[in-house]
Amino acid sequence: MPQNVLYLVVLPVVHLGTLNFGYTEQILTLLPERLLATEFLPEEVDKYIQTFAVRAERYLTGGQSEGFSFEKEATKDGRIRVRVVQNVG
């Protein structure tokens, strides 16, 4: 089964448009580069994985995307990167 290897990233977004000026939020996304992955604290990583997994199952699975799996990768300083494997068909 073909796969895409991606990494979980948390990005802050600050809206500059006149309608939502100043509105700020965080988004979860996936990027193909490990060096750009968010390095999570051990006590917060499971919540981010669960949040992404629930939404990915509901909104990102279907068509050629058959599902996602999540693997934790420890860094030298004790933080955790999340490697996400997207199964495609």
Query: How do residues 2-41 score in pLDDT, each as one tens digit?
Result: 899 999 999 999 988 887 777 899 999 999 999 999 999 9
Tell me the whole-structure pTM to 2 decimals: 0.88
Domain containing 64: what range? 3-88
Q: How many domains does the chain contain in total? A: 1
pLDDT tens digits for range 41-81: 999 999 999 999 999 999 988 888 889 999 999 999 999 99
Q: What is the pLDDT of residue 89?
A: 79
Mean confidence (pLDDT) of the chain = 93
Q: What is the DSSP string of the chain?
A: --EEEEEEEEEEEE--SSSSTT-EEEEEEEES-GGGS--B-HHHHHHHHHHHHHHIIIII-BTTEEEEEEEEEE-TTS-EEEEEEEEE-
